[in-house]
Amino acid sequence: MKQKDKKIAIIGSGITGLTIAYKLKKAQIPFVVFEKENRIGGVINTIAKNGFVFETGPNSGVLSNSSIVQLLDDLNEYSQKEIASKNAAKRLIWKGTQWHALPSGLLSGITTPLFSWKDKIRILGEPFRHKGINPLENLSSLVKRRLGNSFLDYAVDPFILGIYAGDPQYIVPKYALPKLYNLEQKYGSFIGGAIKKRKEPKADNQDKVTREIFSMKGGLQKLIDALEQAVGKENIKTNCNNLLITPNRVGYQVSGNNNLSGQFTHIVSTVNPAEYKALFPFLKQNDLDIFMRLPYAKVTGVTIGFNNWEGMPLNAFGGLIPFKEDRNILGVLFMSSMFKNRAPENGALLNIFMGGMRKPEIAELSDDKIKQILKEELSELMQIKNFNPDLVYIKRYSKAIAQYGSDSEERLKTIAFLEQKFPGFIFAGSIKDGVGIADRVQQASNIAGQIIEG
């Protein structure tokens, strides 16, 4: 099929959909983005209020692959990225009654109280342990097998809480943390694999894949605004209610409210699986079941701001709280420490996450109950003597973060089967390929390439 004969319908205007649209625009392939809400960007949204600039969705991204690096470089004329301060390299973990820095080297790894002496000694043998043979082994089992219980409790568990708000006993590394999984499978060791990878020659653009934390100057909404400018507002339709996609002899018919109608050769779905049944009636119930079983972490995010900060020094990325510590929050991000102009001078902006897979009931509490928990927790955790924030913003997500467990393999096989059964239909979004901003951009770049190359 010639490029000029292709016409793509992208369902959903989050970071995935907009990036696909941007790539198609560059390739001069016609497309339309359909969004049911009255704004674009999905969960990404930045608010400026009373001298504070804060996010109501993702707070930052990571320069973890060449696709996100390239996209940010391409969009530089519209909006500039902001790299987090050097403080962001420091991650705090709560243990007992105080914060401890997550070790960043050999000496700190030996002296840290986070890990037991048994596991510190045991880690010396990690490069020599046999690699796992079960591709569906959960993260908890993998870490205990290679590193020990204390590394699971005070390094990996809080890490998973920070990314997935998840449970290491459910998460399967092959799908949720493929780079970690492949270190063991390809090199036989986490430590040995990391050393060998550093010595391997880097591909084009890989020197810019620094794994630094980033946002945009003015907040992540600026990234959405930049994509909108680059894509063209005329190619995006909002308020698309009652959208319906049906296959026909030449592709797919899209119809909806306000006499919305169009014929397309390709459909790219980036929406939550809960919307599949109404949008795609040609998918059978037994095909939909695997998507409906995909669990999502229920998370409540709370942003609090102080015009004058009198708590502990905010010289880190933030603090994560292991599940073993049995606190009522998952972690605190020090947003005003990482990025400029997020709070008034001498003030502070914090973002707190509550709920997750193992404590979903906390995410469902009333605003008053949540504020009470914050007062109790942060007074101790952040050394706040007089808890009287100048800003409190609460945002709930009932389906915040997809969880990749052992049924991921069946879901991926179903996706492959359906995409073959319905040529031109493409599944995208966080149902596969990761949940971070860089993961979404990587997936979008791959899908756009797939369409462009035919």
In a domain, 227, yes or no: yes
Say which CATH number the domain at 307 has. Answer: 3.90.660.20
Residues 232 and 180 in one domain: no
Say which CATH number the domain at 135 has. Answer: 1.10.3110.10
Report which DSSP code applies to 102: P
Q: Is the pLDDT assigned to residue 434 strictly greater than 90? A: yes
Q: Number of folded domains in the chain?
A: 3
Binning pLDDT at 50, 70 and 90, where does residue 204 land? low
The CA distance from 247 to 250, in Å, is 8
Say which CATH number the domain at 7 has. Answer: 3.50.50.60
Q: Is the pLDDT assigned to residue 418 strictly greater than 80? A: yes
Backbone angles phi, psi at 451, to 5 degrees: -70, -45
Q: Which two tokens stand for residue 439?
A: 């993961």
- Whether 191 and 128 have beta carbons less than 8 Å apart is answered as no
In a domain, 301, yes or no: yes
Domain finish residue from 155, 176, 205: 205
Convert the pLDDT of each residue in 90-110 to its tens digit. Answer: 999 999 999 999 998 878 888
In a domain, 364, yes or no: yes
365: which residues sit within 8 A by CB, 6+ positions away? 300, 373
Residues 310 and 283 in one domain: no
Residues 166 and 288 in one domain: no
Owning domain of residue 186: 119-205
Residues 394 and 326 in one domain: yes
Q: Which residue has the higher pLDDT, 260 or 62?
A: 62
Residues 302 and 372 in one domain: yes
In a domain, 426, yes or no: yes
* CB-facing half-sphere around the CA of 283: CA atoms within 13 A: 28
Residues 358 and 444 in one domain: no
Convert the pLDDT of each residue in 308-340 to its tens digit. Answer: 999 999 999 999 999 999 999 999 999 999 999
Domain finish residue from 205, 231, 253: 205
- Whether 163 and 320 have beta carbons less than 8 Å apart is answered as no
Convert the pLDDT of each residue in 32-83 to its tens digit. Answer: 999 999 999 999 999 999 999 999 999 999 999 999 999 999 999 999 999 9
Residues 133 and 198 in one domain: yes
Q: Which two tokens stand for residue 173?
A: 């590394």
Residues 287 and 411 in one domain: yes
Domain finish residue from 205, 240, 275: 205
Residues 392 and 350 in one domain: yes
The CA distance from 166 to 342, in Å, is 28
Residues 29 and 170 in one domain: no
pLDDT at 257: 85
Residues 409 and 377 in one domain: no
Residues 282 and 428 in one domain: yes
61-62 vs 81-83, strand pairing mode: unpaired
